[in-house]
Amino acid sequence: MSAATKPIVLVAACALLDADGRVLVAERPAGKSMAGLWEFPGGKVEPGETPEQTLIRELEEELGVETKAACLAPLSFASHAYEDFHLLMPLYVCRRFWGIPTPREGQRIRWMRPAKLRELPMPPADEPLIAFLIDLV
């Protein structure tokens, strides 16, 4: 499939940061594509949604935490060609959220220092975003 015929998939991702400057990552559960890889929480932007609305919905569904659009700050984005689609993924930072992140979809989660994220296997689109988090924290 040529680059011109690949569909563009818009996915919003969020780097939840705690008071100690650690970021939350989630492991893709068995049965999903790229299972076992660690990623920033988020998901596909549905028709009619903004990336911020997607993150508010996904953070509640995946982790049981609430946030508001005003608490989401755009940091960077990834543009990555996978075999069947091209991923466009804005990464937001969120320091203000309510609730304790709890895995709700069979995934494992962990809080990590941004500099340690390179030790985890991550999807190719997520890896370049680590440098922006290291610079931020």
How many CB atoms are located within 10 Å of the residue 42 CB? 23
Provide the 3-class DSSP secondary structure of residue 94: strand
- Residue 123 CB-half CA count within 13 A: 21
**What is residue 1's predicted lDDT score, i.e. its pLDDT?**
55
CATH number of 54's domain? 3.90.79.10
d(CA 27, CA 4): 31
| pLDDT tens figures, 10-44 | 999 999 999 999 999 999 988 888 889 999 999 99
The model's pTM:
0.92
pLDDT on residue 3: 59
Domain tally for the chain?
1
Q: Which domain holds residue 7?
A: 3-136
Nearest to 80 by CA among 9, 30, 12: 9
**What mean pLDDT do residues 101-125 have?**
95
